[in-house]
Each structure stands twice: as C-alpha cells, then as structure tokens.
Amino acid sequence: MTFQLPSLNYGYEALEPHIDGTTMTIHHTKHHNTYVTKMNAAVGACPELGSMDLLTLNQKIGTSEIPADQMTNVRNNGGGHWNHSFFWTVLAPPSSTNGPSSELKAAIDGAFGSMDEMKSKFNAAAAGRFGSGWAWLGVEEGGKLTITSTANQDNPLMANVVDQACIPVLGLDVWEHAYYLKYQNKRPEYIQNFWSVVNWEAVNGYYAEATQGKAPKL
C-alpha cells in the first residue's frame, strides 16, 4: 500500500494561542510528511511491507513479520506516521468540544480518582520523558485506563518492544519540534496548554472502541 499524509480537520492557526500556526504547519507538512515519505521508500525496498496497513505494521514491530533489515526503519517511520496521524485527530480548536463522555469520565475516576489527578499523572509522564517521545492515555488489557510514555516514535501498540502496552485513546507529542518555536524550553507550559485543545469527541470514540479491543485504524 502507499501511505498518504492525512489532511487536518482544522486550519493550522485553529489551535492558537495554545499551539501556534507556524509550528503546526512545519510539524504537519515537514516532520510528518518525512515519515510518510520514508515509509513509502521502505515499502519500495521491501514490497512485503505493503501487505500490512499502518496499524498492523506498528503492532508487528519486534516480530519476525517485519524483516530485520527494515525493523528500525519501520519502527521509526511507521511509528512516526501512526503517532502523528493519531495526534492530529485528538486536537481541536479551543472550547469546541464538550469533555469526556460519562463512560470515559467514570473510567478516569475509577483509575485515577479524578479528572484533575489523571491530568496531573499525564502531565508528569509527558514532562518526565527524557529527550524526545510521547505521553499516552490508553486502555490496557482488562479494560482499565493507564498512563505511559514512550521514547522517540514508539507507541503503546508496539507491545513487543515497549515497557507498557495499551490501546491509545489520547497522546501528546513532546518532541521539541512540537513546541519549541512558541515555548522554547518550557515543556511543562506546553503540556498544560495542551488540555485546552483536546478533541474529547475523538477521545471518547477511541475509548469506546478500545474497550472492545479495537485500536485506532488511521
């Protein structure tokens, strides 16, 4: 299959003032597009990769189904493509969504005690990720919510190579390219402002699917 850069459901400036339009433009058209280009090159060099969709490629990282000579390439670029495709969907213009569904809110309260406590733990995971990586809210096997972080372009779908596997329902990019133009070294400020642009409708939908064992197929 040929991978494509997904379009956004909002303009590059729509997330301001929390995420600036210049960062969004560069992040989407340059950084994300590079992962797409490199994944297509990987498929050209190894046609059997083209028989798997993006979700499956991420889930098969660390298994013999990904050729050894392409493992790092697919892990970095297939991970980068899935992570960013997911990230764009969980963002929305400020004040345009209504918050967690009653089902998700109950699950958050059950797992963390409160919405504020969930945010605090998520923020700590995002701020504490050394170097480049991601923070995630996800549903682990058994249906309970969990918070984790991954390095580089890894994600919790890569059950064979990450410390904590789950089905992501919310993610935050904490690579410097995601925030440095506006926030410089103030990663915690970027993380805090992220909550103003979360697309809760998307998160609610991902949560409903995840409780049935279904991961986002982007």
Give the neighbor-by-neighbor strand order of the sheet with 145-151.
Answer: 145-151, 133-139, 167-173
Cα angle 163, 155, 166 (rounded to 5 degrees) comes to 65
CA-CA distance, 119 to 168, in Å (whole number)? 15
Residue 64 contacts by C-beta under 8 Å, 6 or more apart in sequence? Answer: none
Q: 177 among the known binding-site residues? A: yes
210 burial (CB, 10 Å; 0-12 / 13-18 / 19+) is buried
Residues in the chain: 218
Q: 84 among the known binding-site residues? A: yes
CA-CA distance, 130 to 121, in Å (whole number)? 16
Annotated binding site: 27, 84, 173, 177
Annotated binding site for Mn(2+): 27, 84, 173, 177
